[in-house]
Amino acid sequence: MPDRPLRSGPALRALTPRPFGATNATMGPFESLPAEVSVYEVSPRDGLQNEAVTVPTTRKVRLIEALLDAGLRRIEVASFVSPRWVPQLGDAEEVVGLLPRRPDVVYSALCPNERGLERALAAGVPEIAVFLSASETHNRKNVNKTIDETLAVFERIVPPAVRAGLRVRGYVSTLFGCPYEGAVDPRRGLEIALRLVRMGCYQISLSDTIGVATPVQTRDVVRLFQRELPDETLALHMHDTRGTALANVLVGLELGIRTFDASVAGLGGCPYAPGAAGNLATEDLVYTLHGMGVRTGIDLERLGEAGQVAEAIVGRELPGKVHRAGVRSLRS
**DSSP track, 120-142:** HHHHT-SEEEEEEESSHHHHHHH
What per-residue string of b and e applies to 40-53 under the rule 16 or more CB within 10 Å gives b? Answer: bbbbbbbbbbbbee
Given a contact cutoff of 8 angstroms between Cβ atoms, the answer to whether 73 and 84 are in contact is no
Determine the Cα–Cα distance for residues 93 and 78; give it in Å rounded to an integer. Answer: 8
Dihedral Cα 177, 183, 184, 187, nearest 10 deg: 120
H-helix segments, the chain: 57-70, 92-98, 114-123, 136-143, 147-155, 158-163, 186-199, 215-226, 245-255, 282-291, 300-314, 321-325
The residue among 56, 40, 37 whose CA lies nearest residue 48 is 56
178 labelled catalytic: no
Distance, in Å, from the CA atom of 306 to the CA atom of 156, rounded to the nearest integer, reads 37
Distance, CA of 114 to CA of 111 (rounded, Å): 8
Cβ 74 vs Cβ 38: under 8 Å = yes
By the 10 Å C-beta count (0-12 exposed, 13-18 middle, 19+ buried), 187 is classed as middle
Kindly list the catalytic residues: 270
